[in-house]
Structures are given as C-alpha cells and as structure tokens.
C-alpha cells in the first residue's frame, strides 16, 4: 500500500487496471489513529486484488513492487488467498 502511495506511475497503472475491471474505489491508506482505518485499508486491498494481481503478473506493465509482489500472483498458495 505504501508503494502505491509513493509511486505516481504505479498508482496511475493501478487506476487504469481498476477501470478495466470496473473497480470504482482505489486503495485506502491507514490513517494516524489506525483503529477504523485498518478495516477500510484491508477492504480496499481485497477490492483491488484482481487489478493488483494483473500489475504484478504482467510482464509489460513495468511496475515492479519491491516487497511482497510474490503474494499477489495468480499461482499463490491457498493460505494467502482471501475468502
């Protein structure tokens, strides 16, 4: 989440991918109080999971997430998947 806050190119690519999959709202950052915003941030990751997977798995997207991108691929282990 922090990567997409800092990188305008990655955020623009995510916005394009969200439009393709008709996901209206993007990622929500965790606020300073953290109590209620953790839920909203987790919900936004779950909502944007398909566009995020496309960005990580696509060789032509040029978006390289430095940490944790292996968790977003389509062949990820079942224990990491959201239900």
- For residue range 38-76, what is the model confidence (pLDDT) as tens digits? 888 888 988 988 888 888 776 666 777 666 656 666 555
Is residue 44 within 8 A of residue 26, CB to CB? The reply is yes
Write down the domain spans for the chain. 2-80
Q: Residue 59: what pLDDT?
A: 66
pLDDT at 22 over 90: yes
> In angstroms, rounded to a whole number, what is the distance separating the alpha carbons of residues 81 and 83?
7
pTM: 0.70
> Tell me, what's the pLDDT at 18?
92
Are 55 and 26 contacting, i.e. CB atoms less than 8 angstroms apart? no
């Amino acid at each position: 989440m922090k990567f997409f806050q800092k990188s305008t190119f990655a955020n623009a690519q995510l916005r394009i991918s969200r439009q393709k999959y008709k996901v209206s709202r993007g990622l929500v950052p965790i606020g300073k109080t953290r109590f209620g915003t953790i839920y909203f941030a987790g919900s936004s990751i779950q909502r944007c999971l398909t566009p995020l997977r496309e960005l990580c798995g696509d060789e032509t997207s040029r978006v390289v997430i430095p940490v944790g991108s292996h968790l977003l691929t389509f062949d990820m282990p079942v224990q990491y998947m959201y239900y």
